[in-house]
Amino acid sequence: MSANIDLEHRDSVGIARLSGDVDITQASVLREQLLGAVRNDDLGLVVDLTRASYVDSVGVSLLFELAERLTGRQLRFAVVIPHDGLVERVLTIVDLESVAEVHRDLDEALAAVRHS
Q: What is the pLDDT of residues 59-86, one digit of tens each?
A: 999 999 999 999 999 999 999 998 888 9
pLDDT of residue 108: 96
Residue 86 CA to residue 92 CA, distance in Å, equals 10
| pTM for this model (two decimals) | 0.94
Structural domain of residue 15, as residue ranges?
Answer: 4-114
43 touches 114 (CB < 8 A): yes
The domain that contains 68 carries what CATH number? 3.30.750.24
Q: Collapsing DSSP states into helix, strand and coil, what is residue 39?
A: coil
Q: What is the pLDDT of residues 15-70, one digit of tens each?
A: 999 999 998 888 888 999 998 889 889 999 999 999 999 999 999 999 999 999 99
* Number of domains composing the chain: 1
Q: Collapsing DSSP states into helix, strand and coil, what is residue 62?
A: helix
